[in-house]
Each structure stands twice: as structure tokens, then as C-alpha cells.
Amino acid sequence: MSKPSTEFETCLRQLAQDGHCLLPAATLLPLLQAQGSLADWPAFAQSWEAMPLDTYMADRGRYRRRRHGVFRAQADGSIQRLPAQPHYQSVDYNPLNGGIERWFAPMGENLEQGTLGCVLRLALSGFGSLRPAARSWFVEAHQFRIEAQAGTPGLPTPEGVHRDGVDYVLVLLIRRHNIESGVTSIHAPDGRSLGSFTLREPGDCCLIDDARVFHGVTAVHAQQPGEPAFRDVLVLTFKRER
């Protein structure tokens, strides 16, 4: 597994110190290109279109669409896609939608051979450098589209400020269209604010130490009523297996 670049090392030091760090697109995209070609980025972003609704929303919301994929990432840099399986969170971590197995539509075939693979490898190199004893990681990849309607906001984190019950989280903005807000906030376990930021440009990214801090995202609102309004993100969660 390759050594993180200087820019990435700076972010990782902040992650280790503060429990979170921000990588703007201008910094992240060259890091991803060092992992492989991003030629499929337009097709990758297009894969957020026509995603099915998340039908497990306990608040009866119809503002979230998603797909899901599962991977095993090894310390030697290898990444293997695993057969489809349900996403599960206990109610301790997700009091709104937790406690049940949630089966989501799978990500497209071979999606990890392009941009997604670059993101997975970069995340593995970074998180692996912070946990050098880790030999294997269980990785879940989530494609989310949060939609806002006229007079009805979309909730990126309907469960509120929370943890995901993993070791690390990567959130990558794919696209924002006709929305305002969507501010990410980071909190200490006692509720103290540790900072906030807004992912605005495609490729803006944040890394979160889920074992140390909580995070949440404010509701998004349509700027022009009657026009499509949405926030597309890729979320990767890394949980150490051994």
C-alpha cells in the first residue's frame, strides 16, 4: 500500500488530532488521480440518477434515495467486493431507523474499477496509516441523494447528530443542485461543537473519526421551487475486522 502524500498526511494529522478533517476538491482530486484514472467521473456521477427511494424511513420521509455496496479492504492494498448484504445499525447508533436489517438496491456492477476504486484505495491508505496494526477492514459504500421539494426540506441525517458505529467515515460530495444549506457539523461526545463546514464543490470531502466524534448535516432547501433540488454524496464507512 502506497504512502500517503504530503497533503494527505496533513489532513490525516488533523484527523488524528481533532477527529475530523476537510479535503477540498482542489486537494482531493489530484490525490485520487494518483490512485488511478478518474475518466469515468461523469458516468460515476450519473449513477446517482434514478436511484430507488429509501423505503425504511421511520419518519415516512420520501426525500432520500440510495444504493449500497460492501467491500473488504486489506492492509496490502487489495479491495474485494463482497456479495450483497443488509445494512444494519443498532438503535444505539440510529434510533430512528436502526434495529432492523435494511436491504438497499446494489451499486452498479464493476463501479469500483473506476473513480470509486480510487476513493476506496485512498481511504484505505489513509485510515490504514492511522491504524497500522489493522489487517482487514469491512467497508460499506452508500450512494445517497437527498431531495428537497417546494416547502419540504430534505434531511441528510434524519437521525440528527450521530455516530455510525464504525472506525472511520469518508463523505465525498458528488453534486449539489438548486439547494441551500447542508452544513456538516462536528461535535464532541458531550455535545460541544468542534466545527462546521459545507461541502459545495464536486470532490469536496471530509474524513471523520467515528469512534471519537459525532456528526450531522442540516436540512437542504430548494432555492428555486418547482425545479429539481438535491444533494448527492458518497459515504464510505471503514470498520476494522482484524
Task: Please compute the mean of the pLDDT values over residues 142-170 and round it to a whole number.
Answer: 95
Q: How big is the CA angle at 93 (ends 157 and 25), to the nearest 5 degrees?
A: 45
N-terminal to C-terminal alpha carbon distance within the chain: 17
Mean pLDDT of the chain: 95
Look at residue 6 in the predicted model and tell me its pLDDT.
84
| Percent above pLDDT 70 for the chain | 98
Look at residue 3 in the predicted model and tell me its pLDDT.
58
Look at residue 242 in the predicted model and tell me its pLDDT.
87
Q: How far apart are CA 174 and CA 135, in angstroms?
A: 30
Residue 145 is part of which domain span? 6-240
Q: Higher confidence at residue 105 or residue 5?
A: 105
Question: Which of 114, 173, 179, 129 minimizes the C-alpha distance to 149?
Answer: 179
Q: How far apart are CA 200 and CA 69, in angstroms?
A: 25
* Domain count within the chain: 1
pLDDT at 239 over 70: yes
Establish if 33 belongs to a structural domain. yes
Tally: H helices and E strands in the chain: 4, 14
Task: Please compute the mean of the pLDDT values over residues 80-98 and round it to a whole number.
Answer: 93
Q: What is the pLDDT of residues 212-234, one digit of tens each?
A: 999 999 999 999 988 999 999 99
> CATH no. for residue 84?
2.60.120.620
pTM: 0.96
Look at residue 10 in the predicted model and tell me its pLDDT.
95
Task: Please compute the mean of the pLDDT values over residues 169-185 and round it to a whole number.
Answer: 98
Establish if 179 belongs to a structural domain. yes
Establish if 207 belongs to a structural domain. yes
- Angle, helices 25-33 vs 115-130, to 10°: value is 100
> CB pairs under 8 A, 24+ apart, for 192-195?
194/18, 194/19, 194/20, 195/18, 195/20
Task: Please compute the mean of the pLDDT values over residues 29-49 and round it to a whole number.
Answer: 96
Q: What is the pLDDT of residues 121-133, one digit of tens each?
A: 999 999 999 999 9
Look at residue 150 in the predicted model and tell me its pLDDT.
85
Establish if 1 belongs to a structural domain. no
